[in-house]
Structure 1
Amino acid sequence: MTERLTGGLRSTASTHTDVERESADQMPTTDPEKPKDPNIVDFEGPDDPANPLNWSPRKKFINIAIISLMTLLSPTTSTISSPITPTIMSHFGSTNSTLGAFVTTVFLLGYTFGPCALAPLSELYGRAPLYKVCIVLFLIFNVACAVAPSMDSLIAFRFLAGIMGSCPVTLGPGSVSDMVSADKRAGAMSAYVIGIILGPSVGPIAAGYLAPAAGWRWVFWLVVIAIGVVAVPVMFLAESYPYVILQRKTERLRKNTGNEKLKSALDTGTTPRELFAFSIWRPLKMLLSPIIFLLSLYCALVYSYLYLCFTTFPVLLSEEYGFGSGPSGLATLGLGVGSVLGLFVCGASDKISKYLAEKHGGETKPEYRLPILIVGAFLTPIGLFWYGWTAYYRTHWILPILGTGFIGAGMVIAFMATTMYLVDAFTLYSASATAANTILRCLFAALLPLAGPAMFAKLDYGWGNSLLGFLAVAFIPVPFVFYRYGERIRESSVFKIEF
């Protein structure tokens, strides 16, 4: 691994092997046996309040809460157009069902491209500036959606809004890992991920009732109002990335002391332009790692099922069950409730990791995050088979909705388990690792639902969802394999990728 930094969530540099094997907040500080270079600017010991790991609980809570609010808004916006798609198509005189689905999924296509730039920029200039810039642009592009004069322009503005909306989803896990040590990270991640799991369900409910009363454009104006409210506290977010914190401290000391030889402990002397040129490809290079690729592929598959449900729900419920746009939006509560239940399963991750660490000699490993993924691997195909065949036989409407609850639970467990694993395993480059996951996940979620109408028209809901269920079954062995052999694969020279 090519090191740009020599530490992540720790106060100073460590060896290359330490970076790979341990969470940065557990790493040792500078070797006490070596004389300290007076020109190296570092944190003032392990208890330095400037280190985000040492922030007060109140400061950590406020920052994580603000980021979580941003994260709630973004997925909410991604699905808010799904129940009003027929109205939008009618307004613009379109009859293309694939284009109608694309109005919703193009937002996720923005999620695919956004992390490619946002992740490396955050590792160069910090998280806080990007949060602030992106939420302002997010607001502007949603205003553009509200006043869009054509279907094409609406799709274009949704895409640009998706790029800006990918910011909290891409940088959020890294921000949490900046502030929270590994042994407490699952609880903090659960609080952060609430926005991701509830947002997709909240959006269709709000749109389903607002659009008939005020028109589809007011759905986007509602989003704009919500973004404007959240944007105010975002402007007060504190920087949490240690590299940037030390860099600013170094610049301040240079100015105050006149000593131009001062250098951050996390600075290797490479210029920002060189770093960006190298870093912008890092998320894509990380996908070459078999662990990152397969876990991201599985997460992408499950996540795309979620959006397939959102884009096909309105058709199923209106044509087969006679639901209007409001009740069709409420039907997404099955996914939402299932997601919340899945979150409770994920809450056990810290306890399971601690138990396994004690059982195996006290050393914490990223692989100890994967047992909960095994649970999710079984829930997803159960939900797909349940949802598909109850819809096929046109049973009572509650039964397909209950089936989607399993899909929601499986999706959340897959998202949480893979995210915590990637953050623990690649802490130094956590933003790039989660960006790699986001790129693949959102690419699948943007494109697979476009095939939904044609697939269900040919196979109906029974065999169509069963086909997807069999794909999910094929991935069941993946968490077992990586739990047992993940560390060996990560450390093997055959699979090691230069980041």
Structure 2
Amino acid sequence: MSSSTSSTIPGLNSGHDGALAEPKVESSSSEGDGGDVIDWEGDQDPECPYNWPRRKIVTNSTILSILTFLIPLSSSIIAPGVPELMVEFHNTSQILAAFVVSVFVIGLAVGPLLLSPLSEIYGRLIIYHVAMVGFVAFTIACALAPSLESLIVFRLLQGALGSCFVTNAGASIADMVPSHRRGTYLAAVSAGTLLGPIIGPVIAGFLNDARGWRWIFWLVTIVGGAAGLAMLALGRETYHPLILQRKVDRLRKLTGNPKLRHRLDDGLTPAARLRRGIVRPVRLFWTPIGIVCALYMTVVYGYLYLMFSSVTTVFQDQYNIRGKLSGLVFLGLGIGNLIGMVLTSVTTDRAIKNRIANGAAGPEAVPPEVRLTLTPYGSVLLPAGLFIYGWTAQYKVHWIIPIIGMAVMGVGNMIIFLSISLYLIDCYGIYSASALAANTVVRSIGGGVLPLAGLRMFSALGIGWGTSLLGFIAVAMIPIPVLILRYGERLRRRQDMTNL
């Protein structure tokens, strides 16, 4: 290994695809200590997650997909039960009623600052197990909450622990699946982030009528507990540096050579590694790419949760759709998200495979900006859907038309969300959990704060002009994905990645 190689961060499109290559022991002349460097042993090393049997990868991905669906679902599933719980707790504040829902999203903004860096120090699996126990415990606490104040606190902690899966699941997929096959797997994981909050109110509308709001939390407890047990039984560690470190530990015992180390070893003490890991999300955010992607995702995510706070009221007032049926209007967003998910995953994976077929020297030679191919189209569909939804609802056009507008918005929403998630993962490789954490923190603040002003804005401006205001902001942001496509690679090359 040359000294220049030792200063390169794997997985940052520097000749590696997320910390790969296969175990071998090679002489390390660059360190000057005569030590040996442990790496993956050839292209077929079974210890490397890229070479796991398909069944093993699908099993781990499926468990993560269930959890990344359950956590966002938990953010909005209580919405239909809010009127009932406010009556039970003798509180009439509309702000607190909205905050019961949105405080979970604020928890999603807090948790990644700690849980994502820890997964890049101690591995993904142990952090998943700890977070799952905490999430289930605080969900039970929500079901038994004796007061509105305690429910809000428990919801905050529930969201903070659940954020582990929302931010780290994408990084786990990057650990297991090379970039040219990553889109489909990541789409399955990312879909839950947008579909979960949509499906939640649909389920809860019926469950709340049948058993009351507390049973909403018992349902989440049952599903979360089952998924946690499945992960305990079937989950496997995917983080490449930790797997290689375990190999180093085994070889040290066999050879008696304490100088053995693995290729991804940064040489830091555990304390120094923890300090660096904690600040890494901030460093990755405070780059041109990090700031632009986070702010754009804040608008997209904030609009989604703003819709959650207003759609039920709009359809009740304009179309007299109430009770159990009120949750079904969210299916327009859900169908749109599914269409956007399929389009993005298939298109971006195909684009990478075509680049490779046309002479690119492997997936690592394909710039991450390829992931943003559809984003300009998504940036147009988002405001178009808002305008259709707002003005047709304003003039009480047949209810199916605003739902179609919501579907159009959903397509644009998912294209932007999934494309940027894939882009960040391909950009930052083994540090993708921190990159996604930085993005999640900022967008979750938007998702938690915007709904608090949503109903007031629509009350002041009306449905048509209220959604038009949102649409005009989205129109102003249309140039952003075009600029990233044109200048993204240049910006990435200017970033100092040697001190992450």
Q: What TM-score, normalized to structure 1?
A: 0.92
Q: Which moved more, 1:289-298 or 1:442-451?
A: 289-298
Q: Which residue of 2 aligns with 1:83?
A: 80
How much does 1:486 deviate? 0.8
Check the 8 A contact 1:297/1:440 in 2, yes or no: yes
What do the CA deviations read for 1:375-412 (whole angstroms, capped 9, x no partner)? 11011001111111112112222222221112221221
1:215 aligns with 2:217: no
- Aligned positions of 1:119-198 closer than 5 A: 119-198=116-195
Check the 8 A contact 1:184/1:350 in 2, yes or no: yes
Q: Which residue of 2 aligns with 1:293?
A: 291
How much does 1:251 deviate? 2.3
Distance 2:347 2:335 in 1: 18
How much does 1:198 deviate? 2.3
Q: Which residue of 2 aligns with 1:277?
A: 275
Q: Which residue of 2 aligns with 1:406?
A: 408
In structure 2, do the counterparts of structure 1 residues 19 and 221 end up closer, same or farther at CA, with 3 Å as the change threshold?
closer
Q: Which residue of 1 aligns with 2:311?
A: 313
What is the identity, as a one-letter code, of the residue corresponding to 1:440?
Answer: V
How much does 1:252 deviate? 2.9
Q: Which residue of 2 aligns with 1:54?
A: 51
Q: Which moved more, 1:354-363 or 1:200-209?
A: 354-363
Q: Which residue of 2 aligns with 1:349?
A: 348
Query: What is the aligned length?
Result: 487
Out of 408, 414, 418, the residue aligned to residue 420 of structure 2 is 418
Q: Which moved more, 1:141-150 or 1:348-357?
A: 348-357
Distance 1:261 1:22 in 2: 26
Out of 366, 369, 372, the residue aligned to residue 370 of structure 1 is 372
1:227 aligns with 2:219: no
Q: Which residue of 1 aligns with 2:399?
A: 397
Describe the SS at the equivalent of 1:40.
strand
Check the 8 A contact 1:141/1:157 in 2, yes or no: yes
Q: Which residue of 2 aligns with 1:492?
A: 494
What is the identity, as a one-letter code, of the residue corresponding to 1:21?
Answer: N
Check the 8 A contact 1:73/1:195 in 2, yes or no: yes
What do the CA deviations read for 1:291-327 (whole angstroms, capped 9, x no partner)? 1211121111111111111111222222332222311
How much does 1:235 deviate? 0.5
How much does 1:56 deviate? 0.8
Distance 2:21 2:51 in 1: 15
Distance 2:341 2:437 in 1: 21
What do the CA deviations read for 1:184-230 (whole angstroms, capped 9, x no partner)? 11111122223223211221011101111111111111111111111
In structure 2, do the counterparts of structure 1 residues 465 and 485 end up closer, same or farther at CA, with 3 Å as the change threshold?
same
Aligned residues: CA RMSD:
2.4
Distance 1:223 1:18 in 2: 38
How much does 1:272 deviate? 1.4
What is the identity, as a one-letter code, of the residue corresponding to 2:492?
Answer: R
In structure 2, do the counterparts of structure 1 residues 32 and 276 end up closer, same or farther at CA, with 3 Å as the change threshold?
closer
What do the CA deviations read for 1:232-278 (whole angstroms, capped 9, x no partner)? 11113100001111112222333444433332332232111111112
Out of 92, 95, 112, the residue aligned to residue 92 of structure 2 is 95
Distance 1:386 1:397 in 2: 12
How much does 1:341 deviate? 0.7
Describe the SS at the equivalent of 1:45.
coil
Distance 2:15 2:88 in 1: 53
Q: Which residue of 1 aligns with 2:453?
A: 451
- Aligned positions of 1:32-43 closer than 5 A: 35=27, 39-43=36-40
How much does 1:357 deviate? 6.0
Q: Which residue of 1 aligns with 2:198?
A: 201
What is the identity, as a one-letter code, of the residue corresponding to 1:340?
Answer: L
Q: Which runs of 5+ in 1 are unaligned?
A: 1-5, 7-12
Q: Which runs of 5+ in 2 are unaligned?
A: 29-33
In structure 2, do the counterparts of structure 1 residues 282 and 81 end up closer, same or farther at CA, with 3 Å as the change threshold?
same
Q: Which residue of 2 aligns with 1:9?
A: none
In structure 2, do the counterparts of structure 1 residues 387 and 143 end up closer, same or farther at CA, with 3 Å as the change threshold?
same
What is the identity, as a one-letter code, of the residue corresponding to 1:351?
Answer: R
Q: What TM-score, normalized to structure 2?
A: 0.92
What is the identity, as a one-letter code, of the residue corresponding to 1:240?
Answer: T
Q: Which residue of 1 aligns with 2:31?
A: none
Distance 1:189 1:30 in 2: 23
Distance 1:497 1:465 in 2: 44
Distance 1:26 1:433 in 2: 13
1:24 aligns with 2:16: yes
Q: Which moved more, 1:208-217 or 1:268-277?
A: 268-277
Q: Which residue of 2 aligns with 1:463?
A: 465
- Aligned positions of 1:248-259 closer than 5 A: 248-259=246-257
Describe the SS at the equivalent of 2:460.
helix
What is the identity, as a one-letter code, of the residue corresponding to 1:20?
Answer: L
Q: Which residue of 1 aligns with 2:264?
A: 266
What do the CA deviations read for 1:452-481 (whole angstroms, capped 9, x no partner)? 011111011111111111111111111111
Describe the SS at the equivalent of 2:266.
coil
Distance 2:342 2:374 in 1: 11
What is the identity, as a one-letter code, of the residue corresponding to 1:168?
Answer: F
Q: Which moved more, 1:307-316 or 1:465-474?
A: 307-316
How much does 1:231 deviate? 1.3
How much does 1:356 deviate? 5.1
Distance 1:156 1:23 in 2: 46
